[in-house]
Amino acid sequence: MPILPIDTGRYGSDEIRKVFDEESRLQKILDVEAAVAYAHSKIGNIPIRDAEEIMAKATTRYVKLERCKEIDRLIGHDLMAVVKAFTEVCSPSASRWIHFGLTSADVEDTAYALQFKEALQIIEDGLISLQRVMLSLAERYKGTIMVGRTHGQHIGVITLGLKFAVWIREISRHLERLRQLKSRVLVGKIMGAVGTGAGLGEHALKIQEIALEKLGLKPADMVTQIIQRDVHAELVSTLTLIGASLEKFAVEVRNLQRTEIMEVIEPFKVECQVGSSAMPAKRNPVKSERICSLAKLMRGLLIPAFENVALWHERDLTNSANERFIFAMSFILLDEMIRSSKAVFEGLTVKPENMRRNIELTGGLLLSENIVRKLVEKGMGRQDAHELVRVCSMKSLCEDKPFIEVLKSDPKVMGLLSTEELVKLLDYSSYLGVTEKLIEKALATTRDELSSNINIKS
């Protein structure tokens, strides 16, 4: 009976949950056992016919999950339960070589790497898909003027496209992190009980090399009985960092969807979706809020990942139980956040008319820096110009007068600037700086990266 929401299928795609389900995990454990048997046969440690039988029967068609659980309930060791169940389906000649020279961590840690390999590809593909959506939005809204805010207050003029351009470059950095991470995370370990390879004999290094090559992995750096957990802490950290960025994007949507702002709105199925059990008219940003909620949970998974780095001597088991949670959960939660983010931005409603309305709320004060800049160009000292415009700005706010009218009534301002110049200086579209160039650079760089990724895959 399902207990956690992940078990019910509420979060995460079928694809990512399949990577971490019990059947898939069992198959990857069998894959490792088979690869090691193959390696032994290649160097002459075991008969080829026995290795071939092991490889043929290293599948959940022969080794049943329920039988493994039944044995585990009896002996209290889940990996040894798999070994015993595997032994039962092989001939006496072949079965004596199953798990030959190995310790549990050889199989378990290497099987984790096989899961990471599949899951990281799903995450990478999802991020690329999300990036493409945002790339299109950055292009579409590169000239859509809106308020720039710091401390929750209006400070200047930007475009919505610039906001998206910043985000697509953030996603690019995460994609780079994922690709760099693979060289350290997609590694296996076939070195026996304390990492010396003694149980594998004089050809231990060759056995490891052959087995891991067959599995599509590289040997881990120096190991003890286990792959060192700084590797896994880095993995969980990277996934959590990606989640933090997705939360940032979602927080911005939530803020911009506030009723009094209403510049963007996340998608809502008006024909059937319920926003509130109390208020029929509500249209809550539930997808964005879900992203933020899951990001908080992901950050909680960082603590055990870091605690697992410091184990006793060559290993203890204080990492084992929590890793059954944190690896699968980190990937599944992030997958859900990526899919939810894509849904939000694919269906995002943009309200340029509200952006224009909000820009006008301060009656031109957004462009006070532009006035300072021009006064300095006309010969006034920068600090004097700043103070003069500050006084005018405060008067505009306190007396609820249009900024341009306050400026026109100040003799120092009008001694240097004409009315025509003031009107031009208070034109919002005139104070975007190099926004368009910045967006175009981000778009071009991202398109090149996406094209390069396609070429690499092909």
The pLDDT, as a whole number, for residue 453 is 75
- Measured CA distances, 227 to 26, 96, 355 (Å): 19, 26, 53
| pLDDT tens by residue, 108-166 | 999 999 999 999 999 999 999 999 999 999 999 999 999 999 999 999 999 999 999 99
Catalytic residue, candidates 151, 313, 429, 458: 151
Residue whose entry in the numeric block shows the structure tokens 């306050």: 406
The pLDDT, as a whole number, for residue 452 is 85
Task: With a cut of 70, say whether residue 243 has pLDDT above it.
Answer: yes
The pLDDT, as a whole number, for residue 326 is 97
The pLDDT, as a whole number, for residue 366 is 87
CATH for 103-362+434-458, options being 3.40.1350.10, 3.90.1150.10, 3.40.50.300, 1.20.200.10: 1.20.200.10
Positive or negative, the CA dihedral 431, 437, 438, 440 is positive
Task: With a cut of 90, say whether residue 5 has pLDDT above it.
Answer: no
CATH code 1.10.275.10 for 1-100: yes
Cα–Cα distance for residue pair 43/229, rounded to 1 Å: 31
The pLDDT, as a whole number, for residue 278 is 54
Extents of the domains making up the chain: 1-100, 103-362+434-458, 365-425
User: For residue 387, what pLDDT band results from cuts at 50, 70 and 90?
Assistant: very high
What's the whole-number mean pLDDT along residues 4-25?
Answer: 92
Catalytic residue, candidates 91, 276, 409, 451: 276
> DSSP assignment, residue 156?
E
Q: What are 367's two structure tokens?
A: 């462009």
Q: How far is CA 269 from the centre of its chain?
A: 27
| pLDDT tens by residue, 187-202 | 999 999 999 999 999 9
Q: How far is CA 219 from the centre of its chain?
A: 26
Cα–Cα distance for residue pair 246/268, rounded to 1 Å: 19
- Concatenating the DSSP letter of every residue in 391-407 gives HHHHHHHHHT--HHHHH
Backbone angles phi, psi at 215, to 5 degrees: -85, -5
The pLDDT, as a whole number, for residue 309 is 97
Strands 145-150 and 153-159: antiparallel
Task: With a cut of 90, say whether residue 270 has pLDDT above it.
Answer: no
Task: With a cut of 80, say whether residue 334 has pLDDT above it.
Answer: yes
Which residues make Cβ contacts (< 8 Å) with residue 7, sequence separation at least 6? Answer: none
Q: Do the Cβ atoms of 85 and 68 come closer than 8 Å?
A: yes
Q: What are 408's two structure tokens?
A: 């026109």
| pLDDT tens by residue, 60-86 | 999 999 999 999 999 999 999 999 999
Q: Give the 3-state secondary structure of residue 303.
A: helix
The model carries a pTM of 0.92
The pLDDT, as a whole number, for residue 456 is 57
The pLDDT, as a whole number, for residue 46 is 96
User: For residue 276, what pLDDT band results from cuts at 50, 70 and 90?
Assistant: low
Cα–Cα distance for residue pair 141/166, rounded to 1 Å: 13
Summary mean pLDDT of the chain? 94
- Measured CA distances, 329 to 11, 40, 236 (Å): 10, 35, 10
Q: Give the 3-state secondary structure of residue 268.
A: coil
Task: With a cut of 70, say whether residue 434 has pLDDT above it.
Answer: yes
Q: What are 452's two structure tokens?
A: 């390069």
Verify whether residue 396 is a known catalytic residue: no
The pLDDT, as a whole number, for residue 271 is 53
Verify whether residue 430 is a known catalytic residue: no
What's the whole-number mean pLDDT along residues 420-434?
Answer: 91
Backbone angles phi, psi at 44, to 5 degrees: 90, 15
Per cent of the chain over pLDDT 90 is 88
Cα–Cα distance for residue pair 51/329, rounded to 1 Å: 35
What's the whole-number mean pLDDT along residues 375-388?
Answer: 94
Task: With a cut of 60, say whether residue 280 has pLDDT above it.
Answer: no
Q: How far is CA 135 from the centre of its chain?
A: 17
Cα–Cα distance for residue pair 266/345, rounded to 1 Å: 7
Decide: residue 18, CB within 10 A, 0-12 exposed, 13-18 middle, 19+ buried.
middle
CATH code reported for the domain at 365-425: 1.10.40.30
The pLDDT, as a whole number, for residue 8 is 83
Q: Do the Cβ atoms of 159 and 144 come closer than 8 Å?
A: yes
User: For residue 457, what pLDDT band results from cuts at 50, 70 and 90?
Assistant: low
Q: Give the 3-state secondary structure of residue 213.
A: helix
